[in-house]
DNA sequence: CGAAATCTTGAGTATAATCAAAAACGGTGG
DNA sequence: CCACCGTTTTTGATTATACTCAAGATTTCG
C-alpha cells in the first residue's frame, strides 16, 4: 500500500494532464491515492464477472482485456485495455461486474479502494467529470465495436481494430508513428472481432499481402496508413481524443 | 419551454425514484428543469453524428434508437431507447456526437439545456451519481450487444434482444407480464442484430414455430419465457436493475 | 534442446447474404 | 366500405463469407 512516488510514473495522472491542466491540489490528491500495486502474469483474471469489488484497478503497465463468456463457452473480448485505463471503474456505481478483466501479457496494476475514489470525487468535481468522461469514451468505443462486429466484414473489421489500437497507443506514448508493440495473439483478435482464429490468420495474411501491414513477432507496423484507415472505415472521432493524434 | 406539470408524468423522475428515494429538494430541482417538449414523427433524426449539441434529449414517449452508418452505407443500431432514457446524455461531457439518435415511431421528447443539467449536477451530487450510473448501464448494455452480435448465432441473438426489450420495458411499466408493444420493424431488428432483414424474418418464423413467441401486429407475446431466456442465453444482470423484475 | 503455445494450410460445411418478386398489411381518400 | 398506395413481411433460389475439423510448421520460452 503506497502512493506512486513520481506522478510522471502514473499513467492516470499523465492522461488527465493531457486533457486539462491539473491544479496543485488535484495533482496532490491524485498522487496521494492509496494504491496497492501488483505484478500479474499473462492470461490471468484481474476481476471476474459477478464480482462485487470494493476497489478498482488502474492498469499501469501491460495489455489487458475486458471480456464475457457466453453460455456456449465462447469468449467475446469487448475491449482492449492499455496503460492508464481503469477497466472496472464502473464498479464504483454498479454493484456487480457484468464482465471480466484479464491480462493479455504480464501487467502491473494498481488497486484503488472505492472509498478513496469516492472521497477524491467528492472533493474534486473536475476529477469526477474527467472520470465520468473516461467511462463515456469507453461507451463510445463499445458503440463503435458493435458497429464493427455487426456491419463490417472480417477484413475491414480487422483493419479497423488495428487502426484503433495504434491511435490509442499513440495517445499514451506507446506507439511511434506507424509502429507499435501489439502482444495480442490471433486467438484473442478473433475473440475481439467475433471471428475464428483461423479466419483471423487468413485476414492478416491478406492485409500483409496487400501491403497494408507488416508484423515481426509482436511488433506491428502499418505500411499504408491511409489505405488501412480507408479499408477499416476508420474515423477516430469516436475516441474523443483532445489533441487529434490521428493524423499521418 | 415549460417544466413538466406533474412529476409522475416525467419518466426520468419515475426512473430515479425507482433507484433511491429523492429528497424534496432533489425532486423539486428535477421538476424545475427547463425542458422544451416536442412531438416528432417516426423515422426522424433527433440528433446526428457529428453534432455538437448544447442540450440533451429526454425521451418522454415512444421508441427511438441510437445508430451509426458505416462508410459502406450500412446502418448499425447500437441501442434501442425507451421512455425515461436520455440517449445523448454523453454530450454533456463529449463535444461531438459519435452516433445519431432517431425515432422509430412518433415520439415525445424533452430537450434540456446542458447548462441546466450541469447546474443540477453541481448542486446535487446524488443526481450526478445517478446520471453517471445511467451512462454506465448504457455501457454495460453495449458490452452485452458486442457479445451478442459477435458470439451468438442469429436465432439466439434475436431471442436475446427480445428478452432484453421485455425486461427493460417491464422496468418502466411498459410491459405486462410477458407481452408488450414493440413497434420495431424487421429491417430495424436486422440493423440492431447485424443480420439482413430477410434473415430476421426467417429467424422470427422459427421462434414462432418453436412456440417461443407470438406476434400480432406490433404486439409481442412471449409464449415460453424460460425457453426464450435459455435460447437467448439471457441473464439480466447486465441491465443492473435494482429490484429484479426479470423473473417469471 | 524440447515442450507448449502460436501460427499456418487444406478441405468440407454451415450460416447468413444477396437478388428478385410476391403476398400481406396499414392507412387514406373517394 | 372499398380501392389504392406505400410499407412491411414473406418466399424461393443462388452465392459468399466464415466456421469447423484436422494436421503440419513455426515460434517462444524455460
Per-residue pLDDT of chain A (248 residues; tens, 9 = 90+): 444 456 567 999 999 998 899 999 999 999 999 999 999 999 999 999 999 999 999 999 999 999 999 999 999 999 999 999 999 999 999 999 999 999 999 999 999 999 999 999 999 999 999 999 999 999 999 999 999 999 999 999 999 999 999 999 999 999 998 999 999 999 999 999 999 999 999 999 999 999 999 999 999 999 999 999 999 999 999 999 976 554 54
DSSP-derived 3-state class of residue B106: coil
Quote the pLDDT of residue A244: 53
Tell me the CA end-to-end span of chain A in Å, nearest whole number. 42
Residue A66 CA to residue A49 CA, distance in Å, equals: 10
pLDDT band at B244 (very low <50, low <70, confident <90, very high): low
Number of separate helices (H) and strands (E) present in chain B:
8, 10
* Candidate from B15-19, B30-34, B63-67 with smallest mean pLDDT: B15-19
Reference B104, options B222, B190, B184, B16; nearest CA is B184
CATH architecture of B7-142: Sandwich (2.60)
Which chain A positions have a beta carbon within 8 Å of B149's beta carbon? 146, 149-150, 194
| Nearest chain A residue to B151, by CA | A194
Q: Which residue ranges have CB below 7 A from strand D?
A: A 153-155, 157, 194-196, 198-199, 217-218; B 185-187, 197-198, 201-202, 204-205
**Please, what is the Cα angle at A153 between B192 and A169, to 5 degrees?**
95
Is A90 within 8 Å of B136 when comparing Cβ atoms? yes
**Of B76, B143, B147, Cβ closest to residue A147:** B76
Domain with CATH 1.10.10.10 in chain B: 152-247
Reference A94, options B30, B84, B138, B86; nearest CA is B138
Residue A59 CA to residue B13 CA, distance in Å, equals: 37
Is B66 within 8 Å of A233 when comparing Cβ atoms? no
CB A160 within 8 A of CB A235: no
Report in angstroms the alpha-carbon separations of B86 from A155, B56, B81, B131.
Answer: 35, 7, 8, 9
pTM of the predicted protein model = 0.95
Cell of B162: 427480445
pLDDT in tens, A150-208: 999 999 999 999 999 999 999 999 999 899 999 999 999 999 999 999 999 999 999 99
Q: Residue closest to D12, CA→C1'? A: B198
Query: Which nucleotide, over all strands, has the C1' atom closest to the CA of A215?
Result: C7
Query: Within 10 Å of residue A182's Cβ, how many Cβ atoms?
Result: 21
pLDDT band at B9 (very low <50, low <70, confident <90, very high): confident
pLDDT in tens, B186-234: 999 999 999 999 999 999 999 999 999 999 999 999 999 999 999 999 9
CB B189 within 8 A of CB B158: yes
What values do phi and psi take at A169, rounded to 5?
-70, -35
Quote the pLDDT of residue A83: 97
Reference B60, options B15, B90, B97, B100; nearest CA is B15
Quote the pLDDT of residue A242: 78
Residue B190 CA to residue B154 CA, distance in Å, equals: 10
3-state secondary structure chain A: CCCCCCHHHCHHHHHHHHHCCCCHHHHHHHHCCCCEEEEECCCCEEECCCCCCCEEEEEEECCEEEEEECCCCCEEEEEEECCCCCCCHHHHCCCCCCCEEEECCCEEEEEEEHHHHHHHHHHCHHHHHHHHHHHHHHHHHHHHHHHHHHHCCHHHHHHHHHHHHHHHHHHCCCECCCEEECCCCHHHHHHHHCCCHHHHHHHHHHHHHCCCEEEECCEEEECCHHHHHHHHCCCHHHHCCCCCCCCC
The answer to whether the beta carbon of residue A156 comes closer than 7 angstroms to any atom of strand C is no
Cell of B6: 406533474
Domain with CATH 2.60.120.10 in chain A: 7-142
- Block residue for cell numbers 455487426: A150
Residue B163 CA to residue B247 CA, distance in Å, equals: 11
Element at B45 (helix H, strand E): strand B45-47
C-beta within 7 A of nucleic chain C, residues 180-209 of B: 194-196, 198-199
Strand partners, B75: B69
The separation between CA A6 and the C-alpha centre of its own chain, rounded to angstroms, equals: 23
Report in angstroms the alpha-carbon separations of B59 from A71, A120, A175, B89, B111.
Answer: 33, 33, 42, 11, 9
Quote the pLDDT of residue A193: 98
Quote the pLDDT of residue B242: 78
Separation of B19 CA and D22 C1' (Å): 54
Distance from CA of B177 to the nearest CA of A (A): 25
Q: Which residues of B touch A (CB under 8 A)?
A: 50, 66, 68, 70-72, 74-76, 78, 90, 93-96, 98-99, 122, 125, 128-129, 132-133, 135-140, 142-147, 149-152, 193-194, 233, 237-238, 240
**How many beta-carbon pairs under 8 angstroms link A with B?**
133
Q: Which of B147, B187, B228, B246 to mutate to test the interface with A (most CBs of A within 10 A)?
A: B147
Is A136 within 8 Å of B99 when comparing Cβ atoms? no
Is A147 within 8 Å of B98 when comparing Cβ atoms? no
| A236: CB partners within 8 A, 6+ apart | A163, A164, A167, A244, A246
Work out whether strand B55-61 and strand B107-113 pair parallel, antiparallel, or are unpaired: antiparallel
**Of B74, B98, B149, Cβ closest to residue A237:** B98
Quote the pLDDT of residue A9: 78
pLDDT band at B248 (very low <50, low <70, confident <90, very high): very low
Q: Residue closest to C6, CA→C1'? A: A185
Residue B168 scores a pLDDT above 80: yes
Distance from CA of A155 to the nearest CA of B (A): 14
Report in angstroms the alpha-carbon separations of B11 from A40, A237, B7, B54, B120.
Answer: 45, 32, 8, 22, 17
Fold adopted by A152-247: Arc Repressor Mutant, subunit A (1.10.10)
CB B26 within 8 A of CB B126: yes
**Of A78, A147, A233, Cβ closest to residue B143:** A78
Q: Which residues of A touch B (CB under 8 A)?
A: 50, 66, 68, 70-72, 74-76, 78, 90, 93-96, 98-99, 122, 125, 128-129, 132-133, 135-140, 142-147, 149-152, 193-194, 233, 237-238, 240
The separation between CA B167 and the C-alpha centre of its own chain, rounded to angstroms, equals: 11
Is B142 within 8 Å of A143 when comparing Cβ atoms? yes
Q: pLDDT > 90: what percent of chain B? A: 92
Is B150 within 8 Å of A149 when comparing Cβ atoms? yes
| A202: CB partners within 8 A, 6+ apart | none
Reference B235, options A245, A69, A153; nearest CA is A69
**Cα Rg, chain A, nearest whole Å:** 18
Amino acid at each position: 500500500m503506497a502512493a506512486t512516488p513520481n506522478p510522471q510514473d502514473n499513467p492516470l495522472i499523465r492522461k488527465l494532464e493531457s486533457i486539462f491542466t491539473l491544479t496543485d491540489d488535484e495533482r496532490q490528491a491524485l498522487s496521494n491515492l492509496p494504491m496497492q500495486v501488483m505484478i500479474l502474469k499473462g492470461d490471468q483474471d484481474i476481476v471476474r464477472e459477478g464480482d462485487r469489488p470494493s476497489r478498482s484497478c488502474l492498469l499501469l503497465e501491460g495489455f489487458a482485456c475486458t471480456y464475457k463468456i457466453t453460455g456456449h463457452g465462447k469468449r467475446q473480448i469487448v475491449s482492449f485495455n492499455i496503460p492508464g485505463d481503469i477497466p472496472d471503474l464502473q464498479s464504483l456505481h454498479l454493484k456487480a461486474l457484468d464482465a471480466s478483466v484479464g491480462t493479455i501479457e504480464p501487467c502491473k496494476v494498481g488497486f484503488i479502494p472505492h472509498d478513496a475514489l469516492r472521497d477524491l470525487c467528492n472533493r474534486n468535481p473536475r476529477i469526477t467529470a474527467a472520470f465520468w468522461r473516461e467511462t463515456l469514451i469507453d461507451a463510445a468505443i463499445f458503440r463503435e465495436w458493435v458497429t464493427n462486429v455487426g456491419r463490417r466484414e472480417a477484413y475491414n473489421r480487422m483493419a479497423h481494430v488495428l487502426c484503433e489500437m495504434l491511435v490509442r497507443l499513440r495517445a499514451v506514448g506507446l506507439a511511434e508513428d506507424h509502429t507499435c508493440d501489439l502482444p495480442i495473439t490471433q486467438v484473442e483478435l478473433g475473440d475481439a472481432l467475433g471471428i475464428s482464429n483461423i479466419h483471423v490468420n487468413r485476414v492478416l495474411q491478406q492485409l500483409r499481402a496487400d501491403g497494408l501491414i507488416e508484423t515481426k513477432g509482436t511488433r506491428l507496423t502499418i505500411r499504408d496508413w491511409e489505405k488501412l484507415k480507408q479499408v477499416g472505415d476508420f474515423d477516430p472521432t469516436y475516441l474523443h481524443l483532445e489533441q487529434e493524434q490521428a493524423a499521418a
